[in-house]
Structure 1
Amino acid sequence: MTHDQSTLTPREQGESDLPVSDPGIEPHVERYTDSDPRLSQRTYHQVVALFAAVPVLAIAFVVIYFAVPHTATAELLGQRWSIQPTLLGLTAGLGVLLIGIGAIHWARQLMNDTEISEERHPVASTASEKAEFVAAVNAGASDAGIKRRGMLLGSLGGAIGIMAVPALVTLADLGPWPTAATRKETLEHTLWADGVRVVNDTNWIPLKAADIEIGQLVNAEPENLRDLHGTEYQNMKAKTALIVVRMDPNSIKVPESRRDWQVGGILAYSKICTHVGCPISLWEQQTHHLLCPCHQSTFDLGDSGVVVFGPAARSLPQLPLKVDAQGYLVAQSDFTVPVGPSFFERDSRNDYKKGDR
């Protein structure tokens, strides 16, 4: 059977259908390390030394982190430098740099230097191609000298592994470890204490029990909050925010355990929603309900702040109140439970639940 040559493809005609002809591989030039065993051995020692220096730098990083005060500074080149972050950057950066230099030196001077080429193949591999790939990987491992120079792989693994230590150490900067003692002093503690006056959060005027009318809601803070400044002030303000309401004593439910927490129907609750921490102030006088504007959690302030609707799972923390000799509202103590959203270590056994007495 004959074919018209004009209908045949270039490949069928014995010609290449590639856009350019195959230039081939240039003649191989032997490296110095391939021709001189002594130079090869010296390069091997250099790579191992580069990797071996990384653990030293990692240990130095940890020592500097704990031993050098973060407030320490020094004058250099007309500038004031913070010593600790500078040294941490140098040790960690140099460690990563040495790993990179060692890996490049290994690849350029010790791994097999023979050039190969292959045609592009379909994405889906055949069984034989997969077998060839495994064989190529094994050959590559052999060419890399792993079997003949066992310390290379071990030192590289050790260098990369030890660099995880500085990263783990810096996790301590995320905050103190949440032990029970730490939580008691931070998350579970506010400025409210026995005798601390309740003041209006706008004008800082102390609240007098006689001046608060039935149905009125006042946003408040502790008087001693003004003694704080900066970040400490902002953090504590977010935790101590208070809602003070006055209701008809005959229209509210006051459990026996909280009988002395109110003054003539005046009650105080945390302003921070127990769902995700939004500030609450949408007050419905007739129902005594307080609505969170973020996710519509609704709390009944006439029934110890229990949840009556929405995603919140805990009652609003209530602050025990009393009056001082001048008739001003003051706290009896801090909140008896942590304010704000829940956290993993939080103990919810003391939270008020509907029906508790």
Structure 2
Amino acid sequence: MSDNQNTPGQDVAARDTAAHPERFEDPGVPAHRSRLTDVDPQAAKRNERLIALIFGISCVGAIASVVVYFAVRPDGTTAGTRLSTALLGVTMAISLLGIGIAAIHWAKSLMSDHEHVDERHTLASSPEVRQVAVQHLADGVEDSGIARRGVLKGAAVSALALFPLTFAVPLISSVGGDWNVSKFRHTLWERNKRLAYDPTGRPIRAADLTVGSAAHVIPEASQEEMQSHEWITEKAKAVVLLVRLNPEDLRSDQSPEGETWSYDGIVAYSKICTHVGCPVALYEQQTHHLLCPCHQSTFDMADGAKVVFGPANRPLPQLPITVDDEGYLVAQDDFAEPIGPSYWERLK
């Protein structure tokens, strides 16, 4: 083999160097392509009027949101609450989307789109460099034409000034409202209140449940009560998940005072996650774990619904249950502690 003959490895290295050079030539900034609004004053004027119109629509949306808040109040029914919420959402969306769409269209059609390249330098710029930077900003403002477009400035300021009213008015008007957090300490559950299937309201017998089965439970109520807005509101605090385990699998089913809170392996726990209040309803039969779908907090139903994983830091409150003379499952009392996430006034 001659001295000047390359080895296979050297040939590969040479090809890699040719295909992937260490340095590339700077292609520079491509030539600027003028937009129609840059060369046609009439087109620029049309876009200015369009942007002002969109800002105007945003203002109308903000004003409509305030009007809806006072004119379409929830009337105590589910349909009334949905209507009020939907109208508020739509009007607030119009207000905020109007600002966003108008700002984007303004930037794309009227503001300067020239590309500028600044060489990288140390953070502590010299006074001369800072003076040049300030001059560039001033040139950009002049090039964008903001100073001579009074209509757009007025429309933008009006839209930005009115939009905060969409959430400021409801916040201010709620001052002095119902801040009684002690109501979270009590639910519809009381002594001898029967457990019923959700949503039918049919009472549950202990014999109806087989080992491994789970049921979504609400307090028993008449059909008339179940249609009222007040009952629906209170029901949201009283929802329970009922699970029947093998009694031998239960590691904890007693109150701190030693009372038994389960019946023949049947346990009942609040469905409201102690993290942020999501509905906990994903039950895994083999592990007896209950999963919150929002943030994956996991509770052990066989061990007092204690937290085994996730951000929740408290077990689910347990509903003490037993059976009545007819074999129906009933509550021994309300939850022993407040349901749901923690709050400032909570004692435990």
Q: TM-score, normalised by structure 1?
A: 0.47
Larger radius of gyration: 1
